[in-house]
Structure formats: structure tokens, C-alpha cells
């Protein structure tokens, strides 16, 4: 959410960003409703003051024998109450419409954000490692999973429908191992681990910028105002909602959680294997800091580097992409995506996303800090996916396969895999 005064002063900028982000919102309508709200509020407050003045005079007159004058003034109070009833109804409508439209206004974007309409317009800024040149016919992760008996998609579909799966044995261990590696890496860098709720109120999703525009991507619990989270970013940020926090040092929190997304609009896309599924797990980083752009920029680089370091530990080639305006969500000011090489796709596939939101989330969530000037200011928030699985299993299995179908376990994961260095083929 942006300050309505700022929107009023920069309405053309906001119109342009909304168009680029593909968000349908009328800034003119928003400002018209806000003008009406301010006018009605002024009128309402004036009449309330007048009513209070009359009520005080009535009390004084009644105490001093001025009964007739008091009765006349009472009639005046009745007239004011009737006017207030109309004004307050109009004010409530104006406040509601202003709030609804304000929730659709997108965040501004950083000056160095690339222009563009889709992920095809994202700009590569660096890469690490090189895609392999196999001297044998490599298998994809589904074939490897079936060969080793560690991924079972047909039974997943039988049990839960499309985009579902089972991980078995070493597959389930790998799924957990990459999460624990990420948690240990982040714990060593000052992040506090939280076990978070997986179901949240609609207010928490609105506070963090996922509602109203992301409602179709979210599963609702029948008969309740509760929703399954698509990322632990939601409870991690909302944990501090309505609070005044100490950000003399940035607040660094993390969570490992199951996540759920309906994937509306992705019919026919990435239907093979584990790339796009309804249930997955993520280790999420969230940082809350002071409202200094240079601090936010430094922290964005920091959390992005955390994800890069994890991929290096997993020995997986990747590239970092600067995300264009049209590929950003409503709430994002600046974003990097990390794409990891996936042999079966013959391309890099997105595995991580790192975002700076400035005070967009904090305004919605009312998370503030007291500055050096003694005044309260809204914080800045940032987030990054340290690892998402089972998607990360795609490059992990495919990149480390050997000619005989065995799968090498990177050294960084072995302590979480009971010391196993290599997944050999089952003996038939």
C-alpha cells in the first residue's frame, strides 16, 4: 500500500506502473473517492463539534432554568443527528471504496528495474557454473525417480489429483536434506527460525500484499475465513503486524514450511514431473529493517547471496536475473530471480525469488519503528526463497546422475543423508 498523498502527487507514475504490471485500477476513481471521503469527513466532524456545543449549552440551560431555550436547542440537535446519519452513511461508503481501490494500487519499481512485459524480458546479470556436456544419454528426474523408486507421481495423482506426487525413501530424505542445509546456512548468518501457521486469516494475506489480487491462487478452508499459505512470508511478516519494532539491527527470520498454490492459469504449463505442483515446501527468508533505500539494497544483495551460496553447495549451475516490471507482482519494488540449469528442460528454470518491497507491506501490516527523530516510521521488508523443494530436486537429480543411472550426493548434503555419498541403483 502506498501513501495516498504520494499517489496524488505521482498519479501518472502509478498509472504507468499499474499498466506495466497488468493491474486494472483507476487512479482517477481512487482520488475522486478520496476527495469525497475527505470532504464528508470534514463536514461530519464539523457537525459533531456543533452537536457537542449544543449539548453542552442544553446542559447548562437545564441547570439554570432555561427550559424553553433548552427545548429549542434539542430540536437543533435532532436536525444535526438527521444530517449526520446521511453524512456518516456516505462517509462509510467513501471510506470503503477508497480502501478497496487503494488495495489495488501497485508498488513503485526501482530505477534500475528493466522494462518489459514478461519473463522473456528479464535481464541476466551474472551466472555461476556451466551446464554439463554429458557423454551419455541423460535421464530426466521422473525417469531417475522411478528407476530408484524415490518418486511416485502416478500414485500421487491417484490420491490427490493432478500436480501431486509421493517422495519415497531417499527422495523424501533429499527433500528434507536440502531444507535442513538451508536452515543451517541461514542460522549461521543470524536468522531466527520460526515454526509458523500454515492457515491464516484473510487479513494476514491482505496485510502482506497477496490479497486481493492473488486470491485465485490461494486455497480457502470451507466455511472459514482461513486460507492455506503459498509461502511462509505471510506468517513471518504478519507476526509483527500492528507492532512497533526495534530495527537498530535488521530483523532476520526464517521458516521451513509446506506451501500450497492452486496454480490457476497454469493449465497445460509444466505438467511433467515436479516443476509445478500444488503442494511443496520452502525455506523462506524475511528481513525487516529501517526505511533507508541503501539499507534495503544491501540486504537484498545479502539474501540473494544466501540463496546463491546454497546452490553452490549443491554444485548446481545457475544464473541471476533482474526481473522486469511486467513480471513483478503488485507488491514488489525490486526483484531478482535465480534460475538453475535443468538438463531435461535444456534451459534454466526458476528456483528462487528475491524481493525488496520498501514500506509497501509494512504500511498494510502497520509495522513501524521509532527513528532517530523520535517519530514513528514504517519499516521496509524483504524476502527470499532460500530453497523450494521438490522443484530443486529436478536439477539435483539430473545434474548429478552418472552413466550407470546412479546419483551422486554433493558433500554438503551427505551428513543429512546418513553419510550416503551415492544413490546406487537398486539390486534387482
- Per residue in 329-376, pLDDT (tens digit) is 999 999 999 999 999 999 999 999 999 999 999 999 999 999 999 999
Please list the alpha-helical segments (H only) found in 64-115.
Answer: 67-102
Name the band, by pLDDT with cuts 50, 70 and 90, for residue 266: low
Distance CA 327, CA 338 (A): 14
Of residues 62 and 141, more confidence is placed in 141
User: Minimal CA–CA distance to 350: which of 122, 57, 113, 85?
Assistant: 122
| Active-site residue, 164 included | no
What pTM, to 2 d.p., does this model score? 0.92
Residue 267 pLDDT > 70, yes or no?
no
Where in the chain do CATH 3.30.930.10 domains reside?
119-423
Residue 269 pLDDT > 80, yes or no?
no
| Active-site residue, 261 included | yes
> In sequence order, what are the beta bridge partners of 105?
none
Q: What is the pLDDT of residues 31-66, one digit of tens each?
A: 999 999 999 999 999 999 999 888 888 877 877 777
Average of per-residue pLDDT across 220-247? 97
**Which listed residue (37, 261, 363, 368) is catalytic?**
261
Residue 213 pLDDT > 90, yes or no?
yes
**Which listed residue (163, 252, 363, 391) is catalytic?**
391
Three cell numbers written together for 73:
436547542
**Which listed residue (37, 350, 354, 398) is catalytic?**
350
Confidence (pLDDT) at 265: 63
Distance CA 244, CA 242 (A): 7
Q: What is the CATH number of domain 119-423?
A: 3.30.930.10
What class, spelled out in words, does domain 4-102 have in CATH? mainly alpha
Name the band, by pLDDT with cuts 50, 70 and 90, for residue 74: confident
Mean pLDDT over each residue of the chain, to the nearest integer: 94
Q: What is the pLDDT of residues 365-422, one digit of tens each?
A: 999 999 999 999 999 999 999 999 999 999 999 999 999 999 999 999 999 999 999 9
- Contacts of residues 165-171 at CB distance under 8 Å and 24 or more positions apart, as own/partner, are 165/274, 165/277, 165/390, 167/390, 170/417, 170/420, 170/423, 171/145, 171/393
Give the percent of the chain with pLDDT over 70.
97
| Active-site residue, 276 included | yes
Average of per-residue pLDDT across 6-33? 95
- Range among 45-49, 72-76, 171-175 with highest mean pLDDT value: 171-175
Which secondary structure element, helix H or strand E, spans residue 313, and what is its range? Answer: helix 293-313
* N-term to C-term CA, the chain: 60
Where in the chain do CATH 1.10.287.40 domains reside?
4-102
Confidence (pLDDT) at 62: 72
| Active-site residue, 55 included | no
Average of per-residue pLDDT across 152-157? 96
Which secondary structure element, helix H or strand E, spans residue 396, and what is its range? Answer: helix 393-399
| Active-site residue, 89 included | no
Three cell numbers written together for 376:
514513528
Question: Do 17 and 117 meet the contact criterion of CB atoms below 8 Å apart?
Answer: no
Q: What is the pLDDT of residues 287-341, one digit of tens each?
A: 999 999 999 999 999 999 999 999 999 999 999 999 999 999 999 999 999 999 9
Amino acid at each position: 500500500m502506498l501513501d495516498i498523498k504520494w499517489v496524488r502527487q505521482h498519479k501518472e507514475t502509478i498509472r504507468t506502473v499499474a499498466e506495466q504490471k497488468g493491474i486494472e485500477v483507476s487512479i482517477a476513481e481512487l482520488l475522486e473517492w478520496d476527495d469525497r471521503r475527505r470532504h464528508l469527513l470534514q463536514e461530519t466532524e464539523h457537525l459533531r463539534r456543533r452537536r457537542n456545543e449544543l449539548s453542552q449549552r442544553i446542559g447548562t440551560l437545564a441547570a439554570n432554568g432555561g427550559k424553553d431555550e433548552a427545548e429549542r436547542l434539542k430540536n437543533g440537535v435532532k436536525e444535526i443527528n438527521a444530517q449526520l446519519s446521511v453524512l456518516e452513511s456516505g462517509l462509510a461508503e467513501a471510506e470503503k471504496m477508497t480502501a478497496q481501490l487503494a488495495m489495488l494500487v501497485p508498488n513503485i519499481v526501482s530505477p534500475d528495474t528493466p522494462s518489459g512485459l514478461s519473463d522473456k524480458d528479464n535481464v541476466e546479470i551474472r551466472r555461476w557454473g556451466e551446464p554439463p556436456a554429458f557423454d551419455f544419454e541423460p535421464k530426466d528426474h521422473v525417469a531417475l525417480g522411478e528407476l530408484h523408486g524415490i518418486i511416485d507421481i502416478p500414485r500421487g495423482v491417484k490420491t490427490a489429483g493432478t500436480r501431486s506426487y509421493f517422495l519415497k525413501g531417499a527422495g523424501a530424505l533429499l527433500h528434507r536434506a536440502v531444507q535442513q542445509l538451508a536452515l543451517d546456512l541461514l542460522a549461521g548468518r543470524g536468522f531466527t527460525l520460526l515454526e509458523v501457521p500454515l492457515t491464516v486469516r484473510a487479513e494476514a494475506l491482505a496485510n502482506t500484499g497477496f490479497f486481493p489480487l492473488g486470491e485465485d491462487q490461494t486455497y480457502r478452508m470451507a466455511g472459514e475465513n482461513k486460507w492455506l499459505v503459498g509461502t511462509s512470508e505471510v506468517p513471518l511478516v504478519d507476526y509483527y503486524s500492528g507492532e512497533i519494532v526495534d530495527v537498530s539491527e535488521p530483523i532476520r527470520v526464517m521458516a521451513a514450511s509446506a506451501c500450497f498454490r492452486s496454480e490457476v492459469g497454469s493449465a497445460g504449463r509444466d505438467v511433467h514431473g515436479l516443476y509445478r505442483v500444488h503442494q511443496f515446501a520452502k525455506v523462506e527468508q524475511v528481513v525487516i529493517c529501517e526505511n533507508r533505500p541503501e539499507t534495503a539494497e544491501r540486504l537484498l544483495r545479502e539474501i540473494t547471496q544466501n540463496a546463491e551460496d546454497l546452490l553452490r553447495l549443491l554444485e548446481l549451475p545457475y544464473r541471476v536475473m533482474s526481473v522486469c516490471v511486467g513480471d513483478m507482482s503488485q507488491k514488489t519494488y525490486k526483484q531478482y530471480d535465480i534460475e538453475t540449469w535443468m538438463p531435461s528442460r535444456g534451459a534454466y528454470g526458476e528456483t528462487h525469488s528475491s524481493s525488496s518491497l520498501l514500506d509497501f507491506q509494512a504500511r498494510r501490516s502497520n509495522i513501524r519503528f521509532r527513528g532517530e527523530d523520535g517519530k514513528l516510521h514504517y519499516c521496509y521488508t524483504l524476502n527470499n526463497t532460500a530453497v523450494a523443494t521438490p522443484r530443486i530436486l529436478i536439477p539435483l537429480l539430473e545434474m548429478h546422475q552418472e552413466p550407470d543411472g546412479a546419483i551422486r550426493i554433493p558433500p554438503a548434503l551427505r551428513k543429512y543423508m546418513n553419510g550416503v555419498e551415492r544413490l546406487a541403483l537398486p539390486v534387482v
